[in-house]
Structure formats: C-alpha cells, structure tokens
Amino acid sequence: MDMNPSSRIYIAGHRGMVGSAILRQLQQEGYTNIITRRSSELDLRNQQAVADFFAAEKPEYVFLAAAKVGGIHANNVYRADFLYENLMIEANVIHQSYVHEVKKLMFLGSSCIYPKMAPQPLKEEYLLTGPLESTNEPYAIAKIAGIKLCESYRLQYGCNFISVMPTNLYGPNDNYDLNNSHVLPALIRKFHEAKEEGKPYVEVWGSGSPKREFLHADDLAEACIYLMHNYNELELVNIGTGEDLSIKELAETIRDIVGFEGELRWDSSKPDGTPRKLMDVSKLHSHGWKHKIGLREGITRVYQEVKERGFEKAPVA
C-alpha cells in the first residue's frame, strides 16, 4: 500500500521550516489526514509522551522533521543540548514507529553529517569516513545516530525507514534571529535593516570564500514526498541542487535583491566553517527528481514574504 490522500500521516516538527513546507505540499496534493502536534502539546524528548501519542493516533506514515537546530554559534555554544535533545527526539519517534508498525518513516538529517574534509561533491558513501567539523559535531553525531537507527530497524525488523540529507535550506518560516540563524536568512535581515537605517556598510562573518549550496524548502518538501512514494532502500539520499556559490557571491546576490547600496565588509576574525559542502545529487536525479526553484528566484520570493510580515516567525497552523 502506497501513501494516499486518506493515509494517516504524522509530521513531527510541522512548525519548522522543513515540516511546514512538507505540510503545505501534502495539503496542496490533496492529503487530508495529517496529524500534527505543537511542542507544547507533545514533548518529543519524553519517551512516555511519544509512546502514548503513537498508541492514540496510530500514524501510518511519519516525516521526522523535528530537531533542535541553529547556526555555527548556537551549535558551538549549546553542544550538550544539541546532542541530547536530537538523540531523544529521533530515538523516541523511530522506536515508536517500529512498535506501532508505521508503514514508512522518513528521517531528515543534515549535510553537516559528512566529514569536514570529505571530497567534493559529497557522495552518500562518504558518511563516517573522517572527522566532523568541530563547531557542529554534536548536532552531526545526533543526525548520524538517526540514520543508523533507521538502517538498524530496517536490518533487524524489516521496517521501511528511509533517511534523506537536505543541503542548506531557506524558505518560509526560516529563523532570522541574528544570534543563531543560518547564513542566508541572516544576510537577508542584515541587508534589509542596513537599507532601512541608511547604513554605509554591512559586516559579514568570515572571509566570504567558503562555498555553499542552497535549496528552497518547497523544493525539499516536493522531493521528500516524491521519495516517500519512490524510494525504499537502506542507504541515505542527498537532497540538493548540485550547484553552489561562494558566501561572497551569495552576499552580493542578496544585496542586489534587497537593493542595499552600501559596501560589504568581511570580519575574518569570525569562523568560516567547512570550506565547501556541495551535495552529489546523482542518486536523487537517477530516481527521477530534480529541483525547480532557482536561487535568485527563491531568495526574491523569501524577501517579499519577510517584507510583508517582518522577521519574526509567522505563525503556522
């Protein structure tokens, strides 16, 4: 039985950027039986609470998009929180999906699972072949554990649990807090506020030389639903565009879209993070899916959204 419009589908983390995109895409495609819980209603770190939820709701399909997330600064400072909370969330949801015979589960990881100095582009088989980037090692370790949980439940119990690794994402419901957001939303906010305040320059962390790949959350959601229908294998799948650009090029693109006329200043005392993180998406392409939203188009859409509603997160149903 494949996932159909009346299937009971649980989205863990439906208020985050990824989960809310999956929710919107499922609704667009006519799925009517979607189960969600806010974190105030269900603490996924609590084993008993998750067990009770699965027993009551009996989801047939699970998208595990819930996670504690942040940028370089947050990952580095809250190391114990990132490791503990993410381990608990994924262990509870994956185990209860096994206990309650969920037909299929998708676990969403992160491109930071790959070794810091792995060859580029990043192929799925590079997992666990070298040391991780130290600043986000706890988060990466937690995500690797989630992948291995899915693999192990498949091997031991025959569960159809799959893992996907999105590249850097942006889109509606992104985090624009300058202390713990990722680079793209942080730059949008910095340039917008500098333009509004008439500032002569914007300061950007690092050297501008690292290269990054960016995927719109709506493309990710479409890919996730596509793979829920079409992918049933042990190995993880990268989800990305297969295209990257330098942080300097990204900053200049965002400056142009926002219409900021001042200069860019680089603070090279701040960390750059991994030199490059480009996904090899040949496996994804071979299974028949390719991204649709170009980066300039996507950033323009996102900027229009935040101009209309401000930088505080919009409430999600």
Q: Which residues are annotated as a binding site for substrate?
A: 190, 205, 212, 272
For 223, the token pair is 């890919």
91, 149 in Cβ contact below 8 A? yes
Instruction: Catalytic residue, from 61, 139, 170, 231: name it.
Output: 139
Give dist(CA 16, CA 12) in Å, integer: 9
- Residues of each annotated binding site: 13-19, 108-111, 143, 166-169, 182, 190, 205, 212, 272
- Which of 107, 97, 90, 106 is closest to 157 using CA atoms? 97
Phi, psi (deg, nearest 5) at residue 16: -80, 175
For 172, the token pair is 């509606």
- Residues of each annotated binding site for NADP(+): 13-19, 108-111, 143, 166-169, 182
Question: Is 126 one of the annotated active-site residues of the chain?
Answer: no
108, 63 in Cβ contact below 8 A? yes
63, 24 in Cβ contact below 8 A? no
Give dist(CA 279, CA 254) in Å, integer: 22
Positions marked catalytic: 139
